[in-house]
Amino acid sequence: MGLEKFLRETKPIRARSLSLGVRSIGEEDALLIYTAAYTYASSRHSGLMALDAGAGIGYSTLWLAKALEDAGCSGCRVVGIEHSPARCREASRIASTARFEGVELEFVEGDALSYVKGLDRETVDIAFVDVEKPLYPDMLRLLESRLKPGGIALFHNAYFPPPPRGFASLASQKPWRSTMIPTATGGLLLAIRMPDS
């Protein structure tokens, strides 16, 4: 399925998210997430793990799964983590009707920081983070060891609402290389965990 069709098919999910009071990413953000994940996955075709920390009802999670599918991945997992039981149930319901070739999609109810903390070192390839903004520095520090070398982390609302002071600076220090991408819904910070030199 092409991206134009996928945009149309996921539009009601974003509308549902907004109707439930979940601040959802915009379509522009979705396409940027897709592009980053697709680019990363295109050179690594199997066994990838992507996380959506703060998944809401799964709009951004679906975009991660679509990117991995389109990149030709096999044996890949996309895990959406959501602290709200009602939102997690809604996301699981939506996911039950979605089919992605080569990609397993699942939702976990709970605290995203705790989930990431429980992962083994260097097991995550791609992480999209949209948790409470004061937690961004803690999540970045956790991902420093959980992301594989060369792995990418995308943080929503890089500009507004603003993350904690110093977060952008932290994301530009070793082992990170990062850039800020302006979007209509608050921007994205893209951080790459650089391989050890």
* Overall average pLDDT of the 136-147 stretch: 97
Confidence of residue 197 (pLDDT cuts 50, 70, 90): very low
Nearest-5° angle of CA 157, CA 17, CA 135? Answer: 35
- Looking at residue 189, its pLDDT comes to 97
- Looking at residue 45, its pLDDT comes to 77
* Overall average pLDDT of the 152-171 stretch: 94
* Overall average pLDDT of the 47-51 stretch: 97
Structure token pair of residue 55: 């998944």
pLDDT digits (tens, 9 = 90+) for 70-116: 999 999 999 999 999 999 999 999 999 999 999 999 999 999 999 99
For residue 1, pLDDT over 80 is answered with: no
- Greater confidence (190 vs 160) lies with 190
* Overall average pLDDT of the 20-47 stretch: 93
Alpha carbons 152 and 19: distance in angstroms, whole number: 30
Confidence of residue 44 (pLDDT cuts 50, 70, 90): confident
pTM (2 d.p.):
0.96
Alpha carbons 170 and 180: distance in angstroms, whole number: 13
- Looking at residue 24, its pLDDT comes to 84
Share of the chain above pLDDT 90, in %: 91
In a 3-state reduction of DSSP, which class is residue 92?
helix
What domains does the chain contain, in order, with CATH numbers?
3-193 (3.40.50.150)
**Contact between residue 192 and residue 178 where contact means Cβ atoms under 8 Å apart:** yes
Mean pLDDT of the chain: 95
**What's 133's DSSP letter?**
G
